[in-house]
């Protein structure tokens, strides 16, 4: 069993790292510092790709990378250590809770953001791939922005529907490419030479980008292209439509849940400090704005003033 000091330090660290749980000044400052560091890392990767800047300030980029990796490593290790404090892992043993957290998508992103630096110390890694993994640090922003957390949750829940839509798009691309190859291959030497080249045309056409580097010239090819373009308008919008609808449903579901909690808190006509703290904590965990919750509280307060309660038991008086 962990000591009291350990639990206290661990709980304080958890509150410090999890901005949606704690709203104290130290936590807010830490969040802003890490968000700023993540954004600066993105800027540094872009600037470092300029050979002239890299030649002049390469030492500065290296120092900044060392500093960033040190901070992100401490953050990662801290999150692994305090994972047992999360309500989602409350029924697990400490080692199992930490293992579950390590295998979670956000923890894997955090690990990928720093692992290439340590791997590069022992094995040679192409700079292009190293730069790509450093850009993954931008995904760490989902720790600190509620909208990104909600979006990732929607993607996780609707993975099956999104996969079905992507599979439909893939089938349509391949069928379109094969048909266009069959129609245009003989009529236009140098264009549509293979199905792989036709796949490029199909993707560009179905997404309505239309670069125009490869175009059909036969009547059958143009007619087929018209049909494919019309199909692309609806088909390529499927994943976006699914995500938009589910995102809206998720937000409404969270608002209704908080609204029910506020209504429950006002059943006795009193909204005390403990109940308000619980609602505010729920607001941050679910990623809702303070203004929306304030309106819910104000509405329930207005209803409570119009309802009479027993002074002894606190029950409603009909």
Q: Are 33 and 104 in contact (CB under 8 A)?
A: no
The tokens describing 181, both together, are 């190859």
Q: Which pLDDT score, from 0 to 100, does residue 1 have?
A: 42
Low-confidence ranges of the chain (pLDDT < 50): 1-6
Q: Which pLDDT score, from 0 to 100, does residue 4 have?
A: 44
Whether residue 316 lies inside any domain: the answer is no
Provide the CATH number for the domain around residue 62: 1.20.120.350
| 36 and 80 both lie in a single domain | yes
Q: Which pLDDT score, from 0 to 100, does residue 268 have?
A: 65
Cβ density class 146-167: b for 16+ within 10 Å, e for less: beebbbeebbeebeeebeebee
Q: Are 100 and 80 in contact (CB under 8 A)?
A: no
Residue among 32, 29, 28 at smallest CA distance from 19: 28
What is this structure's pTM? 0.62
Whether residue 315 lies inside any domain: the answer is no
Write out pLDDT tens, residues 1-25. Answer: 444 444 578 878 887 887 555 557 7
Whether residue 301 lies inside any domain: the answer is yes
CA gap 142, 150 in Å, rounded: 9
Beta-carbon contacts of 167 under 8 Å, excluding residues fewer than 6 positions away, are none
Whether residue 310 lies inside any domain: the answer is no
Residue 316's DSSP bridge partners are 309
Q: Residue 225: which domain range? A: 159-236
| 170 and 244 both lie in a single domain | no
Whether residue 318 lies inside any domain: the answer is no
Phi, psi of 22, deg, nearest 5: -115, 145
Provide the CATH number for the domain around residue 170: 1.10.287.70
| 121 and 228 both lie in a single domain | no
Beta-carbon contacts of 291 under 8 Å, excluding residues fewer than 6 positions away, are none
Boundary of a domain, candidates 185, 201, 236: 236
| 11 and 124 both lie in a single domain | yes
| 188 and 249 both lie in a single domain | no
Beta-carbon contacts of 218 under 8 Å, excluding residues fewer than 6 positions away, are 183, 184, 187, 188
| 223 and 258 both lie in a single domain | no
Whether residue 78 lies inside any domain: the answer is yes
| 81 and 111 both lie in a single domain | yes
Residue among 63, 77, 61 at smallest CA distance from 131: 61
| 189 and 77 both lie in a single domain | no
| 11 and 127 both lie in a single domain | yes
Q: Which pLDDT score, from 0 to 100, does residue 193 have?
A: 82
User: What is the total count of domains within the chain?
Assistant: 3
Q: Which pLDDT score, from 0 to 100, does residue 63 have?
A: 93
Whether residue 56 lies inside any domain: the answer is yes
Boundary of a domain, candidates 100, 115, 144: 144
Q: Which pLDDT score, from 0 to 100, does residue 2 have?
A: 46
| 110 and 34 both lie in a single domain | yes
| 189 and 131 both lie in a single domain | no
| 25 and 133 both lie in a single domain | yes
Residue whose tokens read 């120092």: 63
Whether residue 151 lies inside any domain: the answer is no
């Amino acid at each position: 069993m962990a000591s009291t000091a350990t639990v206290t330090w661990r709980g304080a660290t958890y509150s410090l790292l999890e901005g949606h749980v704690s709203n104290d000044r130290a936590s807010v400052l830490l969040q802003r510092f890490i968000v700023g560091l993540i954004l600066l890392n993105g800027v540094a990767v872009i600037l470092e790709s300029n050979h002239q800047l890299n030649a002049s300030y390469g030492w500065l980029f290296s120092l900044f990378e060392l500093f960033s990796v040190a901070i992100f490593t401490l953050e990662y290790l801290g999150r692994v250590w305090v994972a047992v404090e999360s309500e989602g892992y409350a029924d697990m043993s400490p080692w199992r809770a930490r293992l579950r957290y390590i295998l979670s998508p956000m923890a894997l992103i955090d690990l990928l953001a720093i692992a290439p630096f340590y791997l590069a110390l022992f094995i040679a890694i192409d700079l292009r791939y190293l730069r790509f993994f450093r850009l993954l640090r931008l995904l760490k922003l989902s720790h600190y922005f509620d909208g990104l957390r909600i979006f990732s949750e929607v993607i996780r829940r609707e993975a099956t529907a999104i996969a079905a839509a992507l599979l439909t798009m893939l089938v349509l691309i391949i069928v379109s490419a094969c048909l266009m190859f069959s129609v245009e291959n003989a009529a236009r030497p140098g264009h549509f030479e293979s199905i792989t080249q036709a796949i490029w045309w199909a993707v560009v056409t179905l997404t309505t980008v239309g670069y125009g580097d490869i175009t059909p010239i036969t009547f059958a090819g143009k007619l087929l292209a018209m049909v494919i373009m019309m199909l692309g308008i609806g088909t390529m919008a499927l994943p976006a439509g699914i995500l938009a609808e589910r995102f809206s449903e998720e937000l409404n579901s969270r608002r209704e849940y908080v609204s029910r909690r506020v209504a429950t808190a006002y059943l006795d006509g009193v909204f005390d400090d403990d109940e308000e703290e619980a609602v505010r904590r729920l607001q941050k965990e679910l990623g809702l704005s303070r203004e929306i919750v304030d309106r819910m509280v104000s509405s329930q307060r207005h209803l409570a003033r119009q309802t009479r309660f027993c002074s002894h038991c606190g029950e409603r008086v009909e």
